[in-house]
Amino acid sequence: MKLDELVAIDIHTHAEEPCCGPRDDGYDEFQAGMAKYFKNPAGHKGMLPTVEETAFYYRERKIGCVIFPVDAERETGFRRYENEEVARIAAENSDIMIPFASIDPAKGRVGAREARRLMREFGVKGFKFHPTMQGFYPNDRMAYPLYEAIAEEGAISLFHTGQTGVGAGLRGGMGMRLKFSNPLHLDDVAVDFPDMPIILAHPSFPWQEEALSVATHKPNVYIDMSGWSPKYFPPILVQYANTILRTKMLFGSDWPAITPDRWLADFEKIDIRDEVRPLILKENARALLKL
């Protein structure tokens, strides 16, 4: 990865399309709901990008990207995109891609063993957790064996926080409960794993101040600004990004729900200081990922 040639590093992109053949029951409805919420046709049948297509898209734009699947099989019934497959494709596109993985923490020590193997044998640099989709509180001790493995190997944990478009507008929210994604639950994790970098993904509506509080108080906690167009960022998020959290804010798009083209265009229009923009777009991620 030629970092000096990159204009940005997107810390939050998804490997969405199932790798296992036909889509599972309910998957089309799930993606159609996402497409409607984000006003983006990417979720419609046949229109989700493959990981290879994602690499091509980002390479054209000279943007590095962290990519991951989401293991929510237990709660959603949707088979996960195999971590090994995502990591393999990322390795083939290592000029532009960095692999993260996803493991449902309910898998306990089996999941911890898988995590160690992925980090040691496949070069996985971090793990994505989605408490709303996976149905768990981040500070549930059930998840700690997995966190221990991640922390001991020096990798990163990235957690969905707040309410974004997942399940929005669908009957019963597709069974997804927002309470699990309050960022305050991650304060316990930051205390118990003080050397494990933790990223709070998205503006954490309706708990934005809780997220800013945790990131301010705990040195190992960062915030990625994905999942929302910057034009909708709450003023307090912009204020903190410009000041005391300027080295802890990270560009993320939430591809393919939000494209980096859209995110970056809207980011240009908000009141971010000139000296802070390169930190958010690339330099903070570069330091965190140790690139």
Q: Which of 62, 56, 87 is nearest to 9 (CA)?
A: 62
Q: Would you call the peptide bond into 256 cis, given omega within 30 degrees of 0 as the criterion?
A: yes
User: Distance between alpha carbon 98 and the CA centroid of its chain, in Å?
Assistant: 12
CA-to-CA distance for 88 and 51, rounded, in angstroms?
10
**Pick from 227, 284, 282, 262: nearest CA to 5:** 282
Identity (one letter) of the amino acid at 162?
G
How far, CA to CA in Å, does 120 sit from each of 87, 115, 204, 239? 12, 9, 32, 39
pLDDT of 30: 64
CA-CA distance, 168 to 213, in Å (whole number)? 26
Sheet containing 97-99, strands listed edge to edge, beginning at the edge strand earlier in sequence: 8-14, 63-68, 97-99
Task: Look up the pTM and report it.
Answer: 0.91
Sequence-ordered list of residues with C-beta below 8 angstroms from that of 102, at least 6 positions apart, any chain: 68, 69, 70, 71, 80, 83, 127, 128, 129, 130
Q: Under DSSP, is residue 1 helix (H, G, I), strand (E, B) or coil?
A: coil
pLDDT tens per residue, range 70-85: 998 887 766 778 999 9
Angle between helices 144-152 and 185-192 (to 10 degrees): 50
Residues of the chain with pLDDT under 70: 17-47, 77-78, 167-170, 172-175
- Rounded-to-integer distance, Cα 10 and Cα 224, Å: 9
Asked if 248 and 221 touch (Cβ cutoff 8 Å), the reply is: yes
Summarised one tens digit per residue, pLDDT across range 234-251 is 999 999 999 999 999 999
Instruction: With CA atoms as reference, report the closest residue to 187 among 210, 161, 214.
Output: 214
